[in-house]
Structures are given as structure tokens and as C-alpha cells.
């Protein structure tokens, strides 16, 4: 039978247009045109709806990928999914994680350890009047279903991370909607509490929750986006940008049919300063611990960490007042604090940390999602065992 073998390579970026790390991987044969499935990363810039650093990176990466694949730029999205999150405040190193998937022939034998699989899908085009509403929720849910099927995952418990990039709103897209007699969810283009950016992110998260059954679709409507914080996905990491017209979805999970040397695990932090929640994600992925901390001798097996850093809606953390909600730079500070929390546990700065919005359907109220990818300590045998 055919089985997936997934690899992940993390390339720090010197500038938003830096594709040298990817070119080195291509030159060495570590990534090939027929195995590259996704580019996921953090780009320097404001992280806002008009983040030109992210747009610059997206254009540069698509141009490089088109040349690498030998296809027109407009066809790149048919082959490779792009999920770029803008803004690298604090100790977040700009980087791109290249995800590859190779199909290998293996004996048709059940059982074995669960290892990493990946699936990808693009959504139908999303009109500006759908952003932050049921139209976006449904289309993300459909794409998530398709990505799960592409990964060969049917059990929601095997899904550990769903990364989504969806369209946001811009002045131009709002004008387009209103010229057709349509309304939009917000004229605020920020990621503030009533900004279009957070509505887009949260609608996408509810779409992810709808796909594997975390939330039944019958519960969802335009009105539940943002008010109902107890309705959430604990595997969704979503972001939005005005440069997008379609949603792009990458699903990561574990399967006994995989022949990867990687495993993914995830956990949910209970609040903004929960380092133990980060450690739980590392444990779930199989990293060894010593005296309650990651074993220093085992940290080399850690491939990558993905995390959300959503600002709590309350001005209280563990009973103590914080002033973050009153800070004009709360959006950037929120991401910076999340980056420092993850770096303090992992000892590295090339962590994917997205967030800054206040409250979210990505994780429980006050908490955040963390996922970790770890390399096996011993290679798999053909039957899928160490």
C-alpha cells in the first residue's frame, strides 16, 4: 500500500523576500517539486491587514515556488498551500517551514506507531460579504474536511493542528461589496475587538471546529462569531489577510499508516502565562522530560512549535490585575509575550506564534493552543515500528 512520509524543514529568513534557505533545500534534494505541499511561516512587518512585509513575502515565495515547480505563478496554489502570519515582535525569528510529503510503498500491515501525516486543501473563493460570517465558516469547514481526507484522517482525535489562512477585508473589498448592495461584518480593518481581522480569524476557527465535529453546524450562525467564547476549536490556528481571495488549509495529524519520522502533539494552555501548557504539547509529541523540564539532551529532536497567543478578554490573570488591555500596542505585545513564553521553554526563537487579537474561538477562554513536531529517536522499520 501507499503511505505518507512527511518532513519539515525550518528556514530562518533574513528579509521578507529571502528564499535562500528554500533554495539550499532544493539544491540538496531535501525538497522536490513533487513533494513540496506547504510553506508555513512568520514574516516581519506590522501583522495588520495592510502588512506589506507579509504581502512581499507571499509574492516572493510564490514566484520562487513557481520557478521551482515549473508552473505559472497563478497555478502555484493548486500545488502548494501558503500560510503566512505577519509580525515578529519580541523574540520571534522570521522563518519559513517547508512541509514535504512523499508517498512510499509499504507492506499492507495494520498497527504500528502513529506518525505525522499532512493534508491540504483550498476553499472556494470567499466574497467580502462572507468574511466573518457563515459563508466563510462553511467554506473553511468544507476545505478542512477535504484536507483531512487528503491526509487520510477520519478520527478527529488524530487531528492535532489545522492551519488556515483566509481573506480579510480591505477598503477596496468593502467598496466592492457595498457596490453590489451587500453589507460587511465590520468597517474596522484592525485586529481590535471589533475589527474585521478578528472576525475573519474567528469565523475560520469555527469552520475548523465544525469540520471534525468539535461543534455541530446547527449551533453556528453569523451571530455567534465572537460573542460565544465557550464555542471554540482546540486545534485551529487561523489568520487572515486582504491579499487572499480563497482560504488555504493545512491539516496535521498522526496515523498508523504513516512512515514519517515525525510525530505531532498538541495541548491547550489555561492562561497567558501557562508554561506547563507548552511543556504538555512537547510531551504529547513525545519529547522526553527530566525533573519536570524538557531533557536538554533530547531537545535536538524538537523540529518546530506552533502556538497561538490570544490576549485574554479579562484584565485579570490568576487573580492579579494586568494593564495589557489598556495598552495601545496590545496587539503586538500579545504576540511578543507568546513568543517569549514558547522560547523560554524550547530555548529557540524560530517558533510560529500567531495572535495578538483579544479573545478568540481558537482555544478556550483565556487559553491558547500549542502544537509541537518532534523527530523520532529511532527510525521506523518497514512495518511501522521502532
Over 60: is that where the pLDDT of 381 sits?
A: no
> Could you tell me the pLDDT band of residue 196, with boundaries at 50, 70 and 90?
very high
**CB crowding 211-226: b at 16 or more within 10 Å, else e:** bbebbebeebeeebbb
Active site annotation includes 360:
no
Active site annotation includes 179:
no
Q: For the chain, what is the mean pLDDT?
A: 92
Dump pLDDT digits (tens) for 286-325.
Answer: 999 988 888 888 999 999 999 999 988 888 889 899 888 8
CA pair distance 28, 319, nearest whole angstrom:
53
**139, 165, 244, 308: which one is catalytic?**
165
| CA angle in degrees (0–180, nearest 5) for 145-362-355 | 120
User: Could you tell me which residues come within 8 angstroms of residue 343 by beta carbon, excluding any fewer than 6 positions away?
Assistant: 91, 349, 351
CA pair distance 32, 15, nearest whole angstrom:
23
**173, 186, 239, 360: which one is catalytic?**
239
Over 70: is that where the pLDDT of 378 sits?
A: no
For residue 130, give the C-alpha cell: 462572507
- The conformation of residue 152, written as its DSSP 8-state character, comes to T
Dump pLDDT digits (tens) for 80-92.
Answer: 999 999 999 999 9
Percent pLDDT > 90 in the chain is 75
Q: Are strands 352-358 and 302-311 parallel, antiparallel or unpaired?
A: parallel
CA pair distance 88, 82, nearest whole angstrom:
18
Over 80: is that where the pLDDT of 108 sits?
A: no
Q: Average pLDDT in the 178-185 region?
A: 97
- Global confidence as pTM: 0.93
**Residue 383 pLDDT:** 40
The DSSP annotation for 188-224 comes to --SSSTT-HHHHHHHHHHHHHHHTTTSS-GGG--GGG
Percent pLDDT > 70 in the chain is 97
Amino acid at each position: 500500500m501507499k503511505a505518507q512520509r512527511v518532513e519539515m524543514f525550518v528556514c530562518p529568513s533574513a528579509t521578507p523576500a529571502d528564499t535562500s534557505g528554500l533554495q539550499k533545500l532544493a539544491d540538496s534534494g531535501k525538497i522536490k517539486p513533487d513533494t513540496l505541499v506547504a510553506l508555513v511561516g512568520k514574516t516581519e512587518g506590522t501583522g495588520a491587514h495592510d502588512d506589506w512585509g507579509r504581502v512581499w513575502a507571499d509574492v516572493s515565495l510564490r514566484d520562487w515556488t513557481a520557478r521551482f515547480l515549473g508552473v505559472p505563478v497563478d497555478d502555484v496554489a493548486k500545488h502548494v498551500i501558503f500560510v503566512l502570519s505577519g509580525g515578529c515582535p519580541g523574540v520571534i525569528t522570521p522563518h519559513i517551514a517547508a512541509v514535504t510529503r512523499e508517498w512510499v510503498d509499504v507492506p499492507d500491515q495494520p498497527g504500528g506507531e502513529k506518525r505525522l501525516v499532512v493534508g491540504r486543501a483550498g476553499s472556494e473563493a470567499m466574497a467580502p460579504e462572507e468574511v466573518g460570517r457563515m459563508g466563510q465558516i462553511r467554506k473553511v469547514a468544507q476545505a478542512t474536511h477535504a484536507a483531512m481526507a487528503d491526509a487520510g484522517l477520519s478520527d478527529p482525535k488524530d487531528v492535532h493542528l489545522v492551519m488556515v489562512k483566509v481573506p480579510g477585508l480591505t477598503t477596496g473589498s468593502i467598496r466592492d461589496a457595498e457596490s453590489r448592495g451587500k453589507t460587511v461584518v465590520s468597517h474596522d480593518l484592525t485586529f481590535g475587538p471589533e475589527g474585521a481581522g478578528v472576525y475573519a480569524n474567528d469565523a475560520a476557527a469555527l469552520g475548523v471546529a465544525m469540520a471534525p465535529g468539535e461543534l455541530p453546524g446547527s449551533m453556528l450562525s453569523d451571530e455567534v462569531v465572537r460573542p460565544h467564547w465557550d464555542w471554540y476549536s482546540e486545534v485551529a490556528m487561523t489568520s487572515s489577510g486582504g491579499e487572499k481571495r480563497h482560504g488555504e488549509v493545512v491539516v496535521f495529524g498522526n496515523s498508523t499508516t504513516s512512515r514519517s519520522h515525525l510525530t505531532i502533539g498538541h495541548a491547550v494552555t489555561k492562561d497567558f502565562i501557562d508554561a506547563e501548557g507548552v511543556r504538555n504539547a512537547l510531551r504529547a509529541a513525545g519529547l522526553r522530560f527530566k525533573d519536570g523540564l524538557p531533557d536538554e539532551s533530547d531537545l535536538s529532536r524538537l523540529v518546530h512549535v506552533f502556538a497561538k497567543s490570544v490576549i485574554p478578554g479579562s484584565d485579570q490573570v490568576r487573580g492579579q490585575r494586568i494593564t495589557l488591555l489598556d495598552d495601545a500596542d496590545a496587539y503586538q505585545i500579545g504576540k511578543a509575550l507568546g513568543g517569549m513564553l514558547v522560547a523560554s521553554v524550547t530555548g529557540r526563537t524560530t517558533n510560529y506564534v500567531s495572535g495578538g487579537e483579544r479573545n478568540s474561538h481558537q482555544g478556550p477562554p483565556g487559553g491558547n493552543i500549542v502544537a509541537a513536531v518532534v523527530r523520532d529517536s529511532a527510525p521506523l522499520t518497514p512495518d511501522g515500528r521502532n
